[in-house]
């Protein structure tokens, strides 16, 4: 038990970036009161288990695969959508485990990823200026004054939508669907039409043979039948994540029980800001995004504030430098942190530093740039003798056309065909598998 209760209100005195301008504070207060009474979405013990897994990553013994939509939507919380996303994540994890020969910690950007930081607070279209879309947790995507007005009732919908999604994810990962003997079934709708699917099928055949061999040896461990899967989101809207913070009855310590892991975005990681303060008080495993302007001093100060006890697994740095910057911006950070003796897991977000606007006006990313950034990330860690601990990506299980490139290539002219994201462009299933095969090769060669 901790000696005195941890102050969970200290963030309120500090500037909180990227918060919505709620028009009706009383309505927000009513929602927060309701959220405080609702059951946890995850258990503190599960958060601790993930912290143990991430400690193994920090020690160089496991690899993180973290991914999902840039922004989940309420309409997207359907069985098909969640299943396709999980299927793709499981396929990527299998590729990494089998071809990369490394245990994979699977973390979805799911069941809570409903809020977005924006570069501008408003958006102008045809002379009309309205609040920017900040994610379904805050306002609607439609460009009307009504839809764009922040509505606190959406915090409750975000909670319920997260609960539905997490329930499905738990069923899929624990209820037999994620059984290793299903490696072919996950691919059935995919094989013929795509090079990544064919490559995966070959790997699935090898896994079948290995499983048959193990069964013949009477080895059939429980790990083959279910999968450990964790949820995560950017804890951006502090009123939401604070309202879902509970004191763990085992330890007397506070956990944000809206997800197993939460992270702080590049735009809200100010050392003297409300997000860092709030995160310093909760006991979940946490992440911080680090962009190319991060100095070693910034990173060390974040470590002091967020992981003063140097607890392995507590803090993950998610580097998102851009393909053209990773090789010069990342080494000073990794080097200084290694020299300080701080225990952090390093993972690479090769998405957010590589976004550009296509001539058609679509926000997009090139798979080649994504792969180049991951390659640079591996090179940096290899040169410094540190561990490239994982990837953090935006993807979907559907056949969208939002990023360009891949073995079944999407070109810029294709972007309009199926561009469905509510925010940043996501890799589709084939591009995600292409990336997984490449990362597995990189991992094997370290
Ligand atoms: C995101 O992960 O969608 C995001 C906004 O990232 P970042 O904070 O790295 O810009
Ligand atoms: Co994004």
**Secondary structure (DSSP) of 22-75:** -S-HHHHHHHHHHHHHSPPSS-HHHHHHHHHHHHHHHTTS-EEEEEE-SS--ST
Question: Can you tell me the mean pLDDT for 335-354?
Answer: 98
Total domain count for the chain? 1
Ligand 1 centroid vs 134 CA: distance in angstroms?
12
Judge whether residue 191 has pLDDT over 90: no
Q: Please give the average per-residue pLDDT across 76-103, as a whole number.
A: 95
- Domain boundaries, position 263: 10-111+161-172+227-445
Mean pLDDT, range 82-109, rounded to an integer? 96
> 116 alpha carbon to ligand 1 midpoint, in Å?
8
Mutate which of 17, 116, 233, 265 to test ligand 1's pocket (most atoms within 8 Å of Cβ)?
265
Residue 3 pLDDT: 61
Q: Find out whether the beta carbon of 266 lies less than 6 Å from any atom of ligand 1.
A: yes
Q: Is residue 197 part of a domain?
A: no
Question: Which numbered ligand comes closest to the C-alpha of 234?
Answer: 1
Question: What is the model's pLDDT at position 148?
Answer: 98
Find the mean pLDDT for residues 353-382: 98
Residue 438: inside a domain, yes or no?
A: yes
**pLDDT band, residue 310 (cuts 50/70/90):** very high
* Contact yes or no for 232/108 (Cβ under 8 A): yes
269 lines ligand 1 (CB under 6 A): no
Please tell me the residue having the least CA distance from ligand 1 atom 10.
266
Asked, for residue 263, whether it belongs to a domain, the answer is yes
* Phi, psi angle pair for 273, to nearest 5°: -100, 170
Judged by its nearest atom, the ligand closest to the C-alpha of residue 118 is: 1
Band of residue 114 on the pLDDT scale cut at 50, 70, 90: very high
* pTM, entire model: 0.97
Question: What value does the mean pLDDT take over residues 73-98?
Answer: 96
- Would the CB of 433 count as within 6 Å of ligand 1? no
Say if 212 falls within a structural domain: no
From ligand 1's centre to the CA of 292, what distance in Å?
Answer: 13
pLDDT of residue 331: 98
pLDDT confidence of residue 39: 98
Residue 284 lies in a domain: yes
- Report the pLDDT averaged over residues 58-85: 97
Rounded distance between C-alpha atoms, residue 411 and residue 401, angstroms: 9
User: CA-to-CA distance for 152 and 291, rounded, in angstroms?
Assistant: 30
Question: Does 373 carry a binding-site annotation?
Answer: no
192 pLDDT above the threshold of 90 = no
d(CA 63, CA 124): 42
Counting from 1 in the atom list of ligand 1, the atom nearest the Cα of 392 is: 2
Pick 151 or 225 by higher pLDDT. 151
Which range among 178-187, 217-226, 331-340 has the greatest average pLDDT? 331-340
The pLDDT assigned to 176 comes to 85
Ion ligand 2, residue ranges at CB < 5 A: 70, 424
Ligand 1 pocket, 392 CB below 6 A? no
Q: Buried b / exposed e across 74-103, counting CB within 10 Å, b at 16+?
A: eebbeeebbbbbbbbbbbbbbbbbbbbebb
Which pLDDT band holds residue 408 (cuts at 50, 70, 90)?
Answer: confident
Who wins on pLDDT, 371 or 185?
371
Q: Is the pLDDT of residue 2 over 70?
A: no
Residue 144 included in any domain: no
What is the average pLDDT value for the chain, to the nearest integer? 96
Q: Is the CB of 426 under 6 A from ligand 1?
A: no
Atom of ligand 1 nearest to the CA of 289: 9
pLDDT score recorded for residue 4: 77
Residue 394 counted as an annotated binding residue: yes
* pLDDT value, residue 188: 81
Alpha-carbon distance of 178 to 181, in angstroms, equals 8
Confidence at residue 306, expressed as pLDDT on a 0 to 100 scale: 98
Determine the average pLDDT of the residues in 270-292: 98
Say which CATH number the domain at 417 has.
Answer: 3.20.20.70
The Å distance, Cα 191 to ligand 2 centre, comes to: 29
> Does position 92 have pLDDT exceeding 60, yes or no?
yes
Going by pLDDT thresholds of 50, 70 and 90, the confidence category of residue 186 is: confident
Work out the percent of the chain whose per-residue pLDDT is above 70.
99
Please tell me the residue having the least CA distance from ligand 1 atom 9: 266
Q: Is there a binding annotation on residue 222?
A: no
193 in a structural domain: no
Residue 394, pLDDT score: 98
Distance in Å, CA 104 to ligand 2 centroid: 22
């Amino acid at each position: 038990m901790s000696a005195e209760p941890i102050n969970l209100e200290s963030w309120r005195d500090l500037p909180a970036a990227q918060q919505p301008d709620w028009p009706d504070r009383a309505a927000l207060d009513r929602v927060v009161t309701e959220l405080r009474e609702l059951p946890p979405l995850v258990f503190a013990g599960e958060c601790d288990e993930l912290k143990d897994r991430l400690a193994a990553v920090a020690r160089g013994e496991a690899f993180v695969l973290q991914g999902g939509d840039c922004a989940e939507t309420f309409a997207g919380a359907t069985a098909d959508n969640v299943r396709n996303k999980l299927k793709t994540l499981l396929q990527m994890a299998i590729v990494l485990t089998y071809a990369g020969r490394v245990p994979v910690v699977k973390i979805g950007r799911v069941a809570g990823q409903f809020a977005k930081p924006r570069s501008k607070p408003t958006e102008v279209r045809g002379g009309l200026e309205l609040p920017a879309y900040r994610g379904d947790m805050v306002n609607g995507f439609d460009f009307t004054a009504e839809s764009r007005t922040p509505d606190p009732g959406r915090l409750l919908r975000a909670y319920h939508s997260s609960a539905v999604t997490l329930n499905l994810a738990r069923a899929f990962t624990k209820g037999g669907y994620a059984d290793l003997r299903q490696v072919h079934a996950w691919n059935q709708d995919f094989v013929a039409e795509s090079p990544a699917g064919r490559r995966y099928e070959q790997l699935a055949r090898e896994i079948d043979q290995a499983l048959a061999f193990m069964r013949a040896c009477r080895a059939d461990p429980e790990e083959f039948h279910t999968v450990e899967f964790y949820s995560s989101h950017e804890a951006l809207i502090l009123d939401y994540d604070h309202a879902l913070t509970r004191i763990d009855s085992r330890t007397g310590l506070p956990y944000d029980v809206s997800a197993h892991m939460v992270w702080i975005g590049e735009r809200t990681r100010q050392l003297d800001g409300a997000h860092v303060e709030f995160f310093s008080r909760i006991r979940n495993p946490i992440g911080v995004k680090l962009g190319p302007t991060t100095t070693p001093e910034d990173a060390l100060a974040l470590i002091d504030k967020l992981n003063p006890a140097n607890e392995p697994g507590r803090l993950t740095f998610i580097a998102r430098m851009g393909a053209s910057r990773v090789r010069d911006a990342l080494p000073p950070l990794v080097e200084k942190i290694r020299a300080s003796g701080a225990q952090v897991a390093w993972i690479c977000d090769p998405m957010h530093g590589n976004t550009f606007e296509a001539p058609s006006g679509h926000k997009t990313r090139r798979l080649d740039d994504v792969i180049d950034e991951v390659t640079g990330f591996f090179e940096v860690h290899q040169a410094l003798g540190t561990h490239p601990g994982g990837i953090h990506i935006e993807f979907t299980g559907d056949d969208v056309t939002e990023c360009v490139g891949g073995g079944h290539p999407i070109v810029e002219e294709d972007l309009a065909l199926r561009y469905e994201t509510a925010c940043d462009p996501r890799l589709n299933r084939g591009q995600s598998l292409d990336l997984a095969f490449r990362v597995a090769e990189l991992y094997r060669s370290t």
